[in-house]
Amino acid sequence: MTILDRYVLKKHVGPFLFGVTTITFIFIMRVMVDFLDLFATRSLDFLTILETFALSLGWIFALTFPMAVLVAVVMAFGRLSQDSELDAMHAGGISFLRVLAPIVVAAVVLTGALFVYNNRILPDANHRLKTLTSDIQKTRPTIAIRERVFMDEFEGYRILVRDIDDAANIIRDVTIYVLDAREPTRTIHAPWGELMYDDGGNQLVIRLHDGEIHEGDKEDQSSYFLLDFETHDLIFDDLGTKLERRLEGGARGDRELPASEMLELTRKLRREQIAEADSLIEGAGRGIDELRQHVQAALAAADPARVQPAEFASRARILLRQLRNAERRIERKERDINRYEVEIHKKYAFPFACVVFVLLGAPLGAEVRRGGAGVGGGVSFLFFLVYYMASLGGEKLGDRGLIPPAVGMWGINVLLGGCGLLLVLKRDSRFPFRRSGAP
């Protein structure tokens, strides 16, 4: 590695780290917004919340690093251009391609690392994240005691609390109706009580003090029993607010599988599809032959009574229904194949964007001639937004079979990469190789 290579790479380190940090932070804020309501209504410990964010970094890093490459290249080459260092290199006989060479090599290395990451780390992270969020969603929201509202969350009870001291977990002027279809309604009233949670919020004890229990007489409705108490506990177990973690996360979706497994699934589905198509053709031929034989037998008998149009129509409808069902099964397998193939190409097309963004970002940064974070970030965000929306559209079209999956996922790479290469060659025509001994 020459002095020039080290110098150019060093110029990219700071902007790249800035891009990774900033973009990751933005995505984490998005994750926080997505999960805010889920976390706020469940009794979750800090480690579970931290694990959710850590697993979310799986898909975040898959997007962050290519985008950070674009930010780094635009900012670094903008700085080199602003400081007239590119002009000095040109004057020294160093071409634009020569300056770009170490960045392209670094982008290729990063692309290879992301290939491995997308196939070995990202699928497991996505699967664990899906399992964890599913377990959290199955957990009942934490039951909150509210003031001046009849609460029916506790089975068999209606509770009215007129004042709550949240800091001390003290409730005042409490009225509780015990509902049992087999017994008269029992009313409990206490001037104050305590709320005590246990078992991670899965158990609630309402401890009432200095209260009364009123219960009607089952045999004589005109009278009732009155019981004074100093302390009375109501215990509510298994509120369902405790997170239950599954050991196995069930079946994996396409984003939770490596490319090798999805490739094997597509081959299996293709074999099943071919077998289904052969069966469809065979069944159609056999059904048509049976209909023809039925008609021929009826005509050969020369007996009008044996010619039954209703039976013929019924046989034809059954055959048509069987053919349509077989056709739908073939179409479903085709959709599954498309979905897996799109995801396979996606695992490689997104990492390759690192190379595309180098080719595109270097000439753009050199033309902008401003290496500030605002300009570099703005230009990078604009082109990444175009790239992301085009990739998302290609993914949807590929899933539906409207375009080949390879075209859907690689089309934007080819388009932007081609434009970037043209810009590089156009700029290099002004900075040709002039000295064979250039570093």
Each domain of the chain, given as residue ranges in start order, spans: 3-139+342-428, 157-236, 255-341
Dist. CA 246–CA 373, nearest whole Å? 45
Dist. CA 366–CA 158, nearest whole Å? 71
pLDDT value at residue 413: 94
Dist. CA 122–CA 59, nearest whole Å? 7
Dihedral angle computed from the Cα positions of residues 229, 233, 234 and 237, in that order, rounded to the nearest 10 degrees: -170
Dist. CA 59–CA 70, nearest whole Å? 18
pLDDT tens for the 439 residues of the chain, in order: 788 889 999 999 998 998 899 899 999 999 998 888 778 767 777 888 899 999 999 999 999 999 999 989 998 888 888 888 888 887 888 888 888 999 999 999 999 999 999 999 999 999 999 888 888 877 765 566 778 888 887 778 888 999 888 777 888 999 999 887 777 778 999 999 988 877 666 678 889 999 998 887 766 666 778 888 999 988 887 665 566 677 666 778 888 899 999 999 999 998 988 888 888 787 777 777 776 776 666 666 655 555 566 666 776 777 788 778 888 888 888 899 999 999 999 999 999 999 999 999 998 888 876 545 566 667 778 888 899 899 999 999 999 889 999 999 999 999 999 999 998 888 765 544 444 444 3
What's this model's pTM, rounded to 2 decimal places?
0.71
pLDDT value at residue 267: 92
Is the CB of residue 55 less than 8 Å from the CB of residue 132?
yes
pLDDT value at residue 306: 56
pLDDT value at residue 406: 93
E strands, 179-285, in order: 186-198, 203-216, 224-236
∠ CA 141-253-411, nearest 5°, is 120
